[in-house]
Structure 1
Amino acid sequence: MRLIKNYLYNAGNQILLLLVPLITVPYVSRVLGPHSSGINAYTNSWVTFFYLIGQMGVMMYGNREIAYTRDNIENRSRTFFEIALLQVIMSSISLFTYIIIILLVSSPFKLYFLYQSLWIIAYGLDISWYFMGIEDFKKTVVRNSVVKIISVALIFIIVRGRHDLSKYILLLGFAQLAGSLTLWPYLKESVSKIGLSNLHPFSHFKGSLLLFIPTITTQIYMVINRIMLGQMSTQSLLGQFDYADKIIKLVLAIVTAASTVMLPYMANKFASGDVQGIKKSLYNSFDFVTAFSMPLMFGIMAIAGSFAPWFLGRHYVHTGYLMFLEAPMILFIAWSSVTGNQYLMPVKRAHEYTLSVTIGAVVNVLANYVLIRLLNLNGAAIASVISELAITGIQLWMIRKSIVVNKLLSSFWKYLLSGVVMFLVVFIINSHMTMNIFSLVVQMITGMLIYIGLLFVLKAPIIKQAYLVFKNNN
């Protein structure tokens, strides 16, 4: 029951993260325009590397280590303070390095780069990993909800034209910082005091570094296409790509919310030696993300062409084509979130996880270099899909000796068939309707009914899972 509540909390948080852009993106994309949106995407892509260097893989490492020690308050408290101190030290070094580089390098976007430094400070103080480790997702969800609602209101009040790009960047940075600070007061009731002389923060350096490598390499293939597009194309085209990528990742977040919840759960099972429980949870989780990602993937593909210019504005026609091309990432990332975050990471096979995402990053850079030159924006979208497919394939191969891969994929055809039929029906409806809020709702409901109906007919495992959950909670 606790696991279900945590998923619902985290899924609710991801839905909030999805709803906020649904409210703000149509406004911001029109007010700032593709060029200013591209500048924001370009400068934020660079600062991302620095705040990740500052975090040193703490988000995943801290989450896992707290899960290992959560039943002993003294060990848990010491672990928290040591990891948090390491995070602050590394973030301070990263911030200092970033500021020096920005001041020394000549760039027309120097001021925007400086404003983006707020993200380094915000992530340096982010301790959400602690509450995830003790499986207390309610606090992080409440925090995010309040901060997001306030920031949405401020966007409409403060950002009024293309000259307000600086205000927009500062607003997002301060909102992130406020979100990080609001979690600290909750520690009073959760950790005990540990003397500074008893803390050894750098004892966690090696462990966090091992998880930092896959984190930074993952980020490389997530932002390298933006950086390469910024260098090889125009800021306006980069803005088109950035919005397509953001919409895909926001939809994906609903599915991958399960991985955030399952990581500490699986880590705690591993610490207690429950190998069979880990495998059972893995099979169920894989089936769950397959069932949920398939309609999201095909639904995006069916409506993308008319949705993008309606939602973002008439200047974003090509964004729809990019969304169509990037949609398969929803399935591939959903799968790798299970094999990587829910299995390889909790059972201390981080080196294999690191290898998979490193290969994916290399594939992404090479594919971007070739395909952007050949296909421009479309090439960047295709390169992203290829790299995610590579990571998923490698991870499935890595776990083949401990997990029955055929069992993971045994019901895949049922979800695929249901998704294809849903896609064809919704695509036909979409081509005969003018895109507006009414037609969008009609298409979503129609697609959902067709997909769920076919799952019942084909007796997909997710139906049995849903029934058991409902039965156990009544």
Structure 2
Amino acid sequence: MKTKSGKITNNSKSLKLNYIYNVSYQILTLITPLITTPYLSRVLKVDGIGLYSYTSSIVAYFIMVAALGTLNYGNREISYLQSDRKKRTQTFWEIELLSIISVAVCLAAYLIFTIFIYHEHTTLLLLQAMCLVSVAADIAWLLQGMEEFGKVAGRNVIFKIINIAFIFIAIHNKDDLVIYVAGMCIMELLSNLSIWFYVPKYVDRPDFKKLHPFSHLRATIALFIPTVATTIYTAMDKTMLNQITHTTIENGYYEQASKISKMVLTIVTALGAVMVPRIGKYFSENRTKEVKDLLYKSFRFVWFMGLPLCFGLMGTAHNFSPWFYGSGYDKVPNLLIILALLIPVIGLSNVIGIQYLITTRRENLLTRSVCIGAVANFVLNMIMIPFLHSYGAAIASVISELIITIVQFWYVRKELSVKTVFSLSTKYFAASIVMLIALIGLNYILKPCIISTLIMITAGGALYFILLFLLKDSMLDEIINTVKAKLHIN
């Protein structure tokens, strides 16, 4: 809603509604690979998937530099200016202009590298240059900072549906890998460009003479180093796997397992994207108590969703993988069991690092923690990959993320009660363990097939929520009461 001065107020914006928007998209993101991955794994084969994983890991380094830290930084800065259109306009165009300059420099470097230096897989790498351009086009941070998650989710849903249709219509055999890569890159670019239709509602035309894009450079670089560490977990593992094992097959195993675990993780971190602008707004208004209350709610949510998703993925991995991926993916179930541990661990670090340290302008602490994790990840990869291959990369990722989370808890121990945070997990941990035991029993009874997996998921989920109901969990009670209120049930 706008005031007489043209400022947009956010009193009517609901955290619950924004979370529903965001998690609805994340669920679609989860469903999409459930539809397309079985098809692609059989059509492109494990080495085709591995080649795509390897080449995308290379372009990821350039994307990392091009993006700087503008996504989190832009979201934070816009959240501070939700009620000031004039300052918001100036800030938006300065950050976006900085992003365009950064992308232009990195795109030139990438093309030089691809054409003149690195002479393998040139076609795939050139196609993925579009992903670099997409970085400059991505202004989702503007809408997120304004807490307009419905618009972002709506746009994403449309392009996800188009994406699914494209895969089944255009990809038919292993030789279509180039078409697949081109389609994915074009879809991402168009998806980001579509957001620009909303820009006039939130910002005005820029006065380029008054813009100072490089005034934001220092702050974005401060958030750039954590991005480097994140890229190490998502790209370095794959690059090192290929270089050490000299085969794309291990990349294929790791890619498929990490893809599933990260997609499940998005359900947990979806709340973080919603919380950042609200916490940023409260911080700018010096409402310290409200900030801490929101953080403890976020921690409780991580336990509430993260633990059952972690143990649920472990319990269903061996039933799910054989029919889902087809033959040739024998290592994936065990990789899923290892990588499932990332769900609660990254969920906790997301609350401290993204929701708290960044919004309170202490990204230097986030930087230190992820740098420690990055070094640990690299060293552990060097030790474990030669002997354990993809298993080694998975174990290294889990240990590194755990180190980051522990270090971040150490930094905030005097501001947030670590004991309180972990005491919130008791009921969820107990219910999740019972669920895991039940799933292990079902796995011995049911043969791997889609019906068996659906039975396991349904039974596991029902058991978990029944146990929470019997334990009188406050978060479950709040959700039930909210649903009753929406449905006008007494």
Which residue number corresponds to residue 10 of structure 2? none
Q: Does 2:191 align with 1:183?
A: no
Code of the aligned partner of 1:239: G
Which residue number corresponds to residue 43 of structure 2? 31
Q: Return the alpha-carbon distance in structure 1 between the equivalents of residues 231 and 111 of structure 2.
A: 21
Q: Return the alpha-carbon distance in structure 1 between the equivalents of residues 453 and 480 of structure 2.
A: 29
* The one of 373, 376, 379 aligned to 1:366: 379
Q: Return the alpha-carbon distance in structure 2 between the equivalents of residues 197 and 11 of structure 1.
A: 40
Which residue number corresponds to residue 264 of structure 2? 251
Task: Report if the CA contact (8 A) 1:221-1:360 is conserved.
Answer: no
Which residue number corresponds to residue 269 of structure 1? 282
Q: Does 2:456 align with 1:443?
A: yes
Q: Return the alpha-carbon distance in structure 2 between the equivalents of residues 261 and 31 of structure 1.
A: 37
* The one of 180, 201, 213 aligned to 1:201: 213
Deviations 1:387-411 (A, max 9, x none): 1111111111111010111111113
* The one of 16, 24, 28 aligned to 1:16: 28
* The one of 158, 165, 169 aligned to 2:170: 158
Q: Return the alpha-carbon distance in structure 1 between the equivalents of residues 372 and 468 of structure 2.
A: 35
Q: Return the alpha-carbon distance in structure 2 between the equivalents of residues 338 and 94 of structure 1.
A: 31
Which residue number corresponds to residue 102 of structure 1? 114
Q: Return the alpha-carbon distance in structure 1 between the equivalents of residues 458 and 118 of structure 2.
A: 52
Task: Report if the CA contact (8 A) 1:51-1:124 is conserved.
Answer: no
Q: Return the alpha-carbon distance in structure 2 between the equivalents of residues 107 and 315 of structure 1.
A: 29
* The one of 180, 183, 187 aligned to 1:171: 183
SS of structure 2 residue aligned to 1:316: coil
Task: Report if the CA contact (8 A) 1:244-1:319 is conserved.
Answer: yes
* The one of 82, 92, 100 aligned to 1:88: 100
Task: Report if the CA contact (8 A) 1:303-1:426 is conserved.
Answer: yes
Q: Return the alpha-carbon distance in structure 2 between the equivalents of residues 12 and 353 of structure 1.
A: 29
Within-5 A mapping of 1:33-432: 33-233=45-245, 234-432=247-445
Q: Return the alpha-carbon distance in structure 2 between the equivalents of residues 437 and 33 of structure 1.
A: 21
Q: Return the alpha-carbon distance in structure 1 between the equivalents of residues 435 and 55 of structure 2.
A: 39
Task: Report if the CA contact (8 A) 1:218-1:358 is conserved.
Answer: no
Structure 1 alignment gaps of length 5 or more: none
SS of structure 2 residue aligned to 1:182: helix
Which sits farther off after the overlay, 267-276 or 47-56? Answer: 47-56
Q: Return the alpha-carbon distance in structure 1 between the equivalents of residues 237 and 224 of structure 2.
A: 21
Question: Structure 1 pair 472/276, CA: closer, same or farther in 2 (3 Å)?
Answer: farther
Q: Return the alpha-carbon distance in structure 1 between the equivalents of residues 359 and 293 of structure 2.
A: 15
Deviations 1:444-465 (A, max 9, x none): 1111121112222333342344
TM-score normalised to structure 2 length: 0.94
Deviations 1:217-265 (A, max 9, x none): 2111222111110111210121011000000000110110001111111
SS of structure 1 residue aligned to 2:240: helix
Code of the aligned partner of 2:428: Y
Question: Structure 1 pair 413/36, CA: closer, same or farther in 2 (3 Å)?
Answer: same
SS of structure 1 residue aligned to 2:321: helix
Q: How far apart are residue 467 of structure 1 and its match?
A: 4.7
Q: Return the alpha-carbon distance in structure 2 between the equivalents of residues 66 and 353 of structure 1.
A: 20
Deviations 1:187-240 (A, max 9, x none): 122211221101111111111111111112211122211111011121012101
Q: Return the alpha-carbon distance in structure 2 between the equivalents of residues 258 and 308 of structure 1.
A: 28
Deviations 1:274-318 (A, max 9, x none): 000001111111001111011110111011112112101111121
Q: Return the alpha-carbon distance in structure 1 between the equivalents of residues 297 and 149 of structure 2.
A: 21
Which sits farther off after the overlay, 213-222 or 354-363? Answer: 213-222
Task: Report if the CA contact (8 A) 2:306-2:344 is conserved.
Answer: yes
Which residue number corresponds to residue 456 of structure 1? 469
Q: How far apart are residue 152 of structure 1 and its match?
A: 1.3
SS of structure 2 residue aligned to 1:409: helix
TM-score normalised to structure 1 length: 0.98
Q: How far apart are residue 340 of structure 1 and its match?
A: 1.1
Task: Report if the CA contact (8 A) 1:128-1:183 is conserved.
Answer: yes
Structure 2 alignment gaps of length 5 or more: 1-12
Q: Percent identity?
A: 38
Task: Report if the CA contact (8 A) 1:66-1:133 is conserved.
Answer: yes
Deviations 1:39-70 (A, max 9, x none): 10001011112112111111000000000112
SS of structure 1 residue aligned to 2:320: helix
Deviations 1:147-174 (A, max 9, x none): 1111211111111111111111100000
Task: Report if the CA contact (8 A) 2:319-2:452 is conserved.
Answer: no
Deviations 1:299-354 (A, max 9, x none): 11011112112101111121111101111111101111111111111111110011
Code of the aligned partner of 1:8: I
SS of structure 1 residue aligned to 2:204: coil
Q: How far apart are residue 468 of structure 1 and its match?
A: 5.5
Q: How far apart are residue 437 of structure 1 and its match?
A: 2.3
Code of the aligned partner of 1:268: K
Task: Report if the CA contact (8 A) 1:287-1:461 is conserved.
Answer: no
